[in-house]
Amino acid sequence: MSLFAQTRTNVIIKNEVFKVSYNETLEQPNWVEYDVRKITKVADRDGMDFYTVKGVYTSNSADYKNNVWDKGHMAPAAAFTDSYKNLKTTFSYLNCSFKVDKLNRGAWRELEAQEGGGAEEIGNIKGRVVLEVKKGHMVLPKGGND
């Protein structure tokens, strides 16, 4: 049961790392925009996990238990290792979408690496990832909001 009287389908939030249109009904981002920059890595993701954001009804860790779905970054974590704060910001559920594990750990990871390599070669790259949900899509049981 939602903590909110009515869920919203287009909550726009901008932070230091990305801009997102979030769909509380689907508990997924509609889209995420970000800039991949040439950076020097100073932060490591060891021990980090996704977290909910106060005031927005998002998916949470319970939604990902016992199924084939990974917690997948929309704006790539590796592109924001220039500070602990930036890296941690990418672990918000606002920046998380359900991804089949083989996609998240395969082609998606390769795409993120290409973005980072491109920024090294040519400078900043603007990224925009749009999540398209088709009519009749699968609906997973809700895990509840942390």
Instruction: Indicate the average pLDDT of the chain.
Output: 84
What's the pLDDT score for residue 1? 41
User: For the segment 86-115, what is each residue's pLDDT rounded down to a tens digit?
Assistant: 999 999 999 998 876 676 566 666 766 656
User: For the segment 16-70, what is each residue's pLDDT rounded down to a tens digit?
Assistant: 999 999 999 999 999 999 998 988 989 999 999 999 999 999 999 998 888 777 8
**Band (83; pLDDT cuts 50, 70, 90):** very high
What's the pLDDT score for residue 135? 81
Q: Which residues pair with 51 in a beta bridge?
A: 92
Average pLDDT over residues 60-82: 87
What's the chain look like in SS3? CCCCCCCCCCEEEECCCEEEEEECCCCEEEEEEEEECCCCCCCCCCCCCCECCCCCCCCCHHHHCCCCEEEEECCCHHHHCCCHHHHHHCCEHHHEEEEEHHHHCCHHHHHHHHHHHHHHHHCCEEEEEECCCCCCCCCCCCCCCC
What's the pLDDT score for residue 146? 45
What's the pLDDT score for residue 15? 97
Distance CA 46, CA 50 (A): 12
Q: What's this model's pTM, rounded to 2 decimal places?
A: 0.82
What's the pLDDT score for residue 43? 95
**Band (143; pLDDT cuts 50, 70, 90):** low
What's the pLDDT score for residue 139? 64
Average pLDDT over residues 6-15: 94
What's the pLDDT score for residue 12? 98
